[in-house]
Structures are given as C-alpha cells and as structure tokens.
Structure 1
Amino acid sequence: MTRKTKPSTAAAVQMPLKEAEAGKETNCDEDKPSDHPKERDNNVKDNDGTKPAAEWKLPRKKALLQFRCKLEDAIRGDYLLGRSYWSLSRLSRENMSSASSQPLPLMDIRLWGVPLLPSKGHEGTDYVLTKFLKARNYKVGEAFEMLQETLWWRRQHRVDETTGEAPLGPDELVLRTMYVRSVDREGRPLCYHVYGALEDREVYKRALGTKERVEEFKSWAVQFMERVARRLSFKDGGVDSVVQITDLKNMRSRSAKEARGVLRSTFLMVQDHYPELVHRHIILNVPLWYYTFHLLLLRLLHQSDKSKFILARPAKVTKTLLKFIDPEDLPVEYGGLLRENDEEFSNLDKVSEVFVGGNTTKSIRIPIAEAGSTVVWDLTVVGWDVSYKEEFMPEDEGSYRVTLNRSKKLRESVRNSYYINEPGELVITVRNPTFKKKRVLYRTKFKPTVPMYVFFKS
C-alpha cells in the first residue's frame, strides 16, 4: 500500500503557473476582480514595454515562481509580517472598537481586493506579485521586502478599514481636487489631482492650514489611491494601471509650501506602496519653482519611476495630453471635447481633424441636405491663438446668409447648435495668424427637431 502525500508548497504554487502557461483557465468565480467600466480591447502589456507575462523568458518566469513559493511559505508559516500575525491582531483589537475592523486571518490576506496566497489559484495574484517584481528589477528578495513594507504601512494607516468610509473629505473639497474622469487610449483610468481648487486663501487654510489638516489631506490621498486601485482589473486582458495627472495651475511658490509636502509624499507613497499601478505621471501647468522641486524629488525615486514623469508648461498642456488621450476623452478645461453630464455627445461620436497652416485660413464645410433638424457641433484648436467664425449658407441663392458667430479670437472649446429650416451648409472658418500650424478637432451631430412655433399654433 502506498501512502498518499500532500504536494509540497513549491508544487502547490507551481501548478497554477503551469496551467496559465498551458492556456488553461482557473476557476476563480468566488474572488473574481471587478472590471473597469470602460475596458477597451487591447493587448495589455507590462508597464516596462516588454511582452505580456505569459510570454516572458525563463529568468522572469523563474523569479515569479520563486516569489510565489517564498510568499506561500511566509503566509503558511505565519512570518509574512515579521512576527506572529495573531499577536498583531490582538494588539490591533485593543485599539479598534468595531469588530468589522479586525484584520483577516493571514491565510485570507488580500491586497487591492486580490488574495495574496498563491495556492488559492486566483488569477489576479500573479499580476499583483509581478508589479512588486518589476519595481525591484525582478529581484525576489527585494520584492518580498517591499511587499512586507507595504502590508505594514497599510496596517499602520488602517487603509483597509478607512477605504469604505464616506464622504472622502469635508465640503466636497477632495472631490474637487482628486477625481477619476475618463480613460486614455489604452483604457487606463485618468486620475486628476487638481491643486487649482486650493487657490482661494480660505480654502487653502481649511485644507492645509495646520499640521493636522496636512496629515488629513494626505490620508485622503491614500483613500483616493486605494479606491482607484480596487477599480482595476488584475487579469489577462484587463487594465491594471492608471495615468496620474497633476495640475499645478495657480500654485504660487510662496503659498505652496504645504502643498509641496503633499506632492512629495503622494509621489513617494505611489512608488513605495502602489508599485507599477501608475503607468505615467503627467504634471500640467508647471511653474518655474517646480523644476527645482522636481530635481530634488528625482533623487528619492527609483530609475524606473523617473522615466514615467512628463512635465508640461501652460502653453503645451493640450498638445501633451492629446499624445495619450483621445480628444473625446479629454475634458474641455484642458482643450478637449469632454463635458460633464453631456447630453449631446458621447465618447463614441467620431472626431474629425484638419490642419491650418501658418498665416492661412481654413473653412470646414458641413453639408445639410434636409431641413427640419438641428445640427450640433463641438470644436477645439490645439494651441488656440486663432480667429473663428460660424455661418450658415443656404442652398437657395435667394435666401440670406446667416452669421451664427462673428469672428473672434478662440480661447476655449466651442459648442453651438442651429436649427435648419432649409438645405444648405454650415461653414466654420478658422484663420491662423501665427507661423505655426494649428490642429483643429471637431465633431457634428444631427437630431430631428420640432420648431417651437408649432407649439404656439392655435
């Protein structure tokens, strides 16, 4: 008679990895991560621009396997956090009043909603571990230490206990400074940190006026990042990173001392405890003082994180963002076509573009064959500094030309509409008095309309 033995830890950890390489699906319906609401059909690659994890070369696959084994042993051996997890639980229970805030057993420990125990077979575990490996150049020991430090940091700041609290901050201040809106071309969520909301002196004092307020503001940033992380999809073909956009408009050097501290702590927090979750940092409306601050900041960052920063002066904001974001997904305040609670257009409406050379004029002609409808249009110009005019030219030579918008200098995105009572064409004229070529982005939409005078007929 032969005795049945349990598989070793290495074998238990290796089995899901082999199944993934063979193209088999793992049953993970119980812990399936939530998808992003606008997940695009893209071949998701790891953030360093290399092949997907399934196509890695042997050294990286070996590093992932070693990391899985090391983590499995640490969880089952109850030394993941350096000392007995249950003794930590008893200490934490003394400081926590509610039973719901007590920590989970170590076997059930999660990060960003994904179980960390590799033998559970959750498809998101490898994606989470891979991010720590990338952040430490696939050195297993350093990646394991980074994971330990992240778990300790989360317990110290009670991240899992405070994430579900609402509201995020008082007087909707945080909702104006930190929010997620739309996605980039690869479907990554765009996370905005807009410090222009702190321009008002009273608002600034209320947010960052004291040390306690500064620490509270930092905790809001942690909550915001945690909620964003839990919206990601750690699975094959999912979106597992974000684009962080920091707008420094109206931030003056004298009054930005506390804000600089918040910026520094936010960047370091993301680097140390949310590795590879930010695909790119885009800093907008960069003032002169920020360049010195940035040089000092780079000394504290790892090499892989330094390359993720893109700085844009005020004149280059729209041009920089359009390199990574479609115009229909870029808010109008940054020169795009996305408006909040838009009832006319969606991000599925096609956007056309034309180029206007230096010292030239370009006319965009939109033919209208039938009457009885309203034409709506959006238009923006990258770089502004152009003059703009709108006219309706009827097909009947006996009818009058209608001037909808007289020539004016364009400084913001334009939306207008016109009820068509006879065939003709809408003519939008853009004159570029500068020497640089300008990019014009626009879209149109026709909708059937009943004229108002019909309702007043007796």
Structure 2
Amino acid sequence: MQINELKAALGPLSTRDEKYCSVACLARYLEARNWNVAKSRKMLEESLKWRAAYRPEDIRWPEVSVEAETGKMYGASFRDREGRTVLVVAPANHQDRTQNTSSHEGQIRFLVYTLENAVLSLPKGQEKMVWLIDFTGWTMANAVPIKTARETINILQNHYPEPERLAYFLDPRSIEKVKFVYLKDEESMKVMRKYIDPKVLPLEFGGKSDVVYNHEEYSELITKDDIQTANSWAEDAKTDHINHAISGTLVPEVTPQMSLITA
C-alpha cells in the first residue's frame, strides 16, 4: 500500500513530523502526485523543510491583525451543514473589504496564519473546510500584486495539497468541484443552500444573516485560539527536545481538504 510505503520512505520523524504525517496527510500528498511514492516523498519533504524555515505555528495574531482589519479573509462564526469550518474571502473592494495593505510578506503570513488557525478549529474527525469567496467587484485593478498571487498559489499547491480547492486555478480535471453561485439565479442559489443553512449565511451570499465582520470581536476570539496553538506546540517542542536524537522539522497537524463555493 502506497501510504505505508511513503511513511517508510520518510524514515524516522520528530514528534511534530509524526503529528503532521498522519494517514490522511500522506494520502493527500500521494493524491497530489498521482500516488507516485517517490514524487510524493519529494513533495512532502519539501513541505517539511518549508515549514521548518517558515514556522507557521509561531505566527500570532498581533503580527497579522492589520491584514484582517477590513475583513478580506476570516474564519466564519458558522459552519456548513456537515459541520465544516468556513473561511470567508472577499478579494475585491466590496463592502469596505479591501486590500488594505501593500506588504507582500504580511499578506502571505496572514494567509498562512488563517489556514493554520482554520485547521486548529476543525471538529475532531473532520478534515474538510469550505471557502466562501465573494468575487463581487473584483477586477485586475484591485487584485493582489502578481508576486503575491504567485506566492499564494505556490504555498497552496506545494505545501497545502488540496486538489478540490486548487482545481479551480490549476487543475481543469476538478473544475466540477468548484461551485459558482449567482444571487439572482434561483437554481444557482440551491447549490449554496445545499451546503449552508440560509439562516447563518451572510446577506452578501444570499443568506438571511445580517451579521457582519467585526474586527474587535474577531480579535478577541482569535487571540484565544492563539493560546491554544501555543500550548499545543509547546508540548510538542518539549517532547522533541527530550527525543532530540533525531533532528526533525516543526510541522503542525493535518492540513484539511477544502471545497470552494464562490459567489
């Protein structure tokens, strides 16, 4: 079985690497490389090196909060009908959600921080999350710089291998997994309602909830998650220090699969 082969090919792992390289994680890397063990191993090892250098688990809210002030990307307070975490993204200047900063590194670290935090918030046994992307008003004029867009794609494709999400941008074989919805098209809106209860869905996505992003309230909630994250990694760091005979990289829990619902 390729999963066992890949695990064996990786060799001894640190506590954090073991935590990351679960069966589900290995399966995703294998799927991303058409179940070729050698190619999957190379991809996964590159991810481990990247995470060791970038240390996404050490990013904290005070560092990236300025990027979130306009609500251009945030974890929703509701879940979909299957209990999955929902991320809301508004890449355009829509309802004051703008690219309020010009820092390439800041925007990338905010993206990674949001992904890591979303993983942490997943219910036990749930490995998927949903992205709600509002393209209303999006044009090349208010798009992120090419450099940032390329780095975003690089990180998502190479270090968060999730075919369902990346298919829209990179893999035409999976285009059917992307759901486009239009507020004035009733048949189209049925797609949205299939995944998310209209009672909790924001108005801008055709729902009935008038709840809007509040940066202060969101900051309070996310700060609590930071404490949970710090405690989790502190325990792993202690274990790795005790078992220091093997030099491993610092890698967090399984990265979830994601689905896209775009408006």
Change (3 A) 1:247 1:270: same
Three-state SS of the structure 2 residue aligned to 1:109 is helix
Cα distance in 2, alignment partners of residues 325 and 188 from structure 1: 10
Bigger helix share: 2
Change (3 A) 1:327 1:157: same
Q: Which runs of 5+ in 2 are unaligned?
A: 213-263
In structure 1, the partner of 2:80 is: 184
In structure 2, the partner of 1:308 is: 177
Kept after mapping to 2: 8 A contact 1:241/1:279: no
Cα distance in 2, alignment partners of residues 128 and 336 from structure 1: 34
Task: Report the alpha carbon displacement of residue 274 of structure 1 after superposing the two structures with TM.
Answer: 1.2
Cα distance in 1, alignment partners of residues 42 and 16 from structure 2: 16
Cα distance in 1, alignment partners of residues 183 and 150 from structure 2: 21
What's the CA shift string for 1:327-370, capped at 9, x where partnerless? Answer: 223222222123439xxxxxxxxxxxxxxxxxxxxxxxxxxxxx
Kindly report which structure 2 residues correspond to 1:262-273, keeping only aligned pairs within 5 A, or say none.
262-273=148-159
Matched, 1:109 2:109: no
What's the CA shift string for 1:191-238, capped at 9, x where partnerless? Answer: 11112457769x64x412xxxx123112211111111122235x6xx1
Task: Report the alpha carbon displacement of residue 323 of structure 1 after superposing the two structures with TM.
Answer: 3.4
Using the size of structure 2 for normalisation, the TM-score is: 0.65
In structure 2, the partner of 1:32 is: none
In structure 1, the partner of 2:200 is: 329
Three-state SS of the structure 1 residue aligned to 2:131 is strand
Kept after mapping to 2: 8 A contact 1:245/1:281: no
Rg larger for: 1
Kept after mapping to 2: 8 A contact 1:180/1:191: yes
Bigger strand share: 1
Three-state SS of the structure 2 residue aligned to 1:323 is helix
| One of 157, 161, 165 as aligned partner of 2:58 | 161
Change (3 A) 1:304 1:156: farther
Kept after mapping to 2: 8 A contact 1:329/1:336: yes
Give % identity. Answer: 25
Kept after mapping to 1: 8 A contact 2:93/2:142: no
Kindly report which structure 2 residues correspond to 1:18-417, keeping only aligned pairs within 5 A, or say none.
62-71=1-10, 73=11, 75=12, 106-110=13-17, 114-116=19-21, 125-162=22-59, 164-166=60-62, 168-170=64-66, 172-173=68-69, 176-181=71-76, 182-197=78-93, 204=99, 206-208=100-102, 213-232=103-122, 238-256=125-143, 258=145, 262-276=148-162, 279-280=164-165, 298=169, 301-302=170-171, 306-313=175-182, 315-316=184-185, 318-340=189-211
The higher-RCO structure (CA 8 Å, 6+ apart) is 2
Kept after mapping to 2: 8 A contact 1:329/1:337: yes
Kept after mapping to 2: 8 A contact 1:242/1:280: no
Aligned length: 209
Change (3 A) 1:229 1:126: same
Cα distance in 2, alignment partners of residues 200 and 327 from structure 1: 23
Three-state SS of the structure 2 residue aligned to 1:179 is strand
Q: What code does the residue aligned with 1:70 have? A: A
In structure 2, the partner of 1:34 is: none
In structure 1, the partner of 2:257 is: none
Cα distance in 1, alignment partners of residues 164 and 82 from structure 2: 11
Cα distance in 1, alignment partners of residues 195 and 171 from structure 2: 23
Q: Which runs of 5+ in 1 are unaligned?
A: 1-61, 76-105, 117-124, 283-293, 342-458
Task: Report the alpha carbon displacement of residue 184 of structure 1 after superposing the two structures with TM.
Answer: 2.1
Q: What code does the residue aligned with 2:91 have? A: Y
